[in-house]
Amino acid sequence: MKREEFRELMCQQLGTEEADRLIAALEGDEQPVSVRHNPAKPYAEPQGREVAWCRWGRYLPERPSFTRDGLFQAGAYYVQEASSMFVGYLLESALAGKQTAGLRVLDMCAAPGGKSTLYSSIVGERGLVVANEVIRTRALTLADNALRWGAGNIVVTSNDPSHFSSSLVEWFDVVAVDAPCSGEGMFRKSEEARENWSPDNVRLCAARQRRIMADAWASLRPGGIFIYSTCTFNGMENEENMEWLCQEFECERVEIECPEEWNIARTEAGVAECFHFYPHRTEGEGLFAAIVRKGGEGGRRRSPKPRRNPFGEVEPKVRKMVEGLLVEGNYHFATIGESIYGYRKELWEDVRCVSEQMSVLFSGVKIGELFGKKFKPDHSLALSALLRLDSFPTWELSEEDLGRYLHREELGCTSELSEGVNLLLWRGCPVGFTKRIGQRTNTMLPKEFRIFI
Ligand code: SAM
């Protein structure tokens, strides 16, 4: 029954022939596999066919076991569906080669972090991405993925979108809403998406999306870029919402060039340029994306008055010690509780402002903790692209020891490690720390990063 209702909706939207091709693709079992490499961790030569709209994206001929791969665990790449990478193409097109230093991006619905890590690579180490996820458990996964990515320019928050519209008004240069949706584009990947689909749920999603869009819009500065995306096909959650946005608020057109051979279907809604990825036309899952610029004058608003200050000061001698662990650059160091965090100086004021307003789960690089005079480095430092690789003795893991490390087991190479903390590498890429104490090792891999397969 549901299938028929869905088919009818798609027939209205695409015509019978195209709707049937779409449904056949959704019911087929061909699922492209793709990954996106981390430009801050260029440890492996990207393999596979390039994703046309993303220079870091590659299609793989088959699905390997990502969980057991050291480079995946080390954040050298992210497993991301190819269509999703298109939002990065939109952002780069809108920025048109402009400086990204000082840019503030908000990714309002960010978990598990696919698009946030992409934006992080685009804005580079001098731009900031605030990755927000309202559902706490999902926000924790997002924080783990931001840590793995190790770029140092992601702040993970867990707030309701309304907190942004009330506390960081017109503060961001770019706001992205990758909205929770009815998930029609995920039908071939997810049985849950198929089971939960109904016309009523589509209407419910569309109404919720408008609320999120309105809050997100309020936190965008005049002249800023707004990117809206869903992984669903129907017009109610897509074009109709963009039309509504253009009617309610002052929106301007952003021209996007998009080569015909990519087979992306283009539509318009108000002044918005809209893009549909249909699995029977493009190699990837379903995606809808749209872009507009916020009209009006005035630029960014000033940062609001602090509500709280979670940071403490770092003593000069501690600062000197931790500074030596990072690659050359200007840093600000601060404590949160017992832990020491490092931030690129250019990002610090913005990170502080977000931390004073929002519930922050992760930011910058968590360098470690001091117990009296003893310093314990954090997993975040090992996976940070800002770590100086000669700060610790290093050890290249064998395949067996990589498996043991990821399972948090005793390593076979113990007697060959230096006494104390060692930085473990897999194909040259840091995967974490371990501490040798005499004839045994104490793993420093946090429990939440342990694998079970
Ligand atoms: N952008 C993510 C990525 O690329 O990895 C995927 C985001 S997913 C499509 C939408 C997210 O919105 C989910 O993580 C969901 O928990 C979150 N969400 C659910 N209800 C929400 C609400 N009322 N306001 C904001 N976000 C919500």
Residue whose CB lies within 8 A of the most ligand 1 atoms, among 109, 138, 148, for a mutation test? 109
The CA 139 to ligand 1 mean position distance, Å, reads: 10
The full 3-state SS of 347-389, as one line of letters, equals HHHHHHHHHHHCCEEECCEEEEEEECCEEEECHHHHCCCCECH
pLDDT the model gives residue 315: 94
The CA 157 to ligand 1 mean position distance, Å, reads: 13
pLDDT the model gives residue 4: 87
The CA 203 to ligand 1 mean position distance, Å, reads: 17
Residue 377 has pLDDT above 60, yes or no: yes
pLDDT the model gives residue 142: 98
Q: Tell me the pTM.
A: 0.97
The residue whose CA has the least distance to atom 15 of ligand 1 is: 180
pLDDT the model gives residue 74: 98
State whether the beta carbon of 377 lies less than 6 angstroms from ligand 1.
no
Segment 366-387 mean pLDDT: 95
Secondary structure (3-state) at 267: strand
Segment 145-155 mean pLDDT: 98
pLDDT the model gives residue 336: 96
Six token digits for residue 385: 């692209």
Segment 153-174 mean pLDDT: 98
Q: What is the pLDDT of residues 75-134, one digit of tens each?
A: 999 999 999 999 999 999 999 989 999 999 999 999 999 999 999 999 999 999 999 999
Q: What is the Cα 312 distance to its own chain's centre?
A: 28
CATH for the stretch 392-453: 3.10.450.720
State whether the beta carbon of 109 lies less than 6 angstroms from ligand 1.
yes
CA distance 416 to 426: 16
State whether the beta carbon of 212 lies less than 6 angstroms from ligand 1.
yes
* ω into 112 cis (within 30 of 0): yes
The CA 133 to ligand 1 mean position distance, Å, reads: 6
Segment 398-416 mean pLDDT: 96
Segment 196-210 mean pLDDT: 94
CATH class of 3-294: alpha beta
Residue 311 has pLDDT above 60, yes or no: yes
Percent of the residues in the chain that have a pLDDT greater than 70, as a whole number: 100
State whether the beta carbon of 113 lies less than 6 angstroms from ligand 1.
yes
Domain ranges of the chain: 3-294, 392-453
Q: What is the pLDDT of residues 210-265, one digit of tens each?
A: 999 999 999 999 999 999 999 999 999 999 999 999 999 999 999 999 999 999 99
Confidence of residue 1 (pLDDT cuts 50, 70, 90): very low
Q: In the beta sheet, which residues pair with residue 59? A: 34, 49
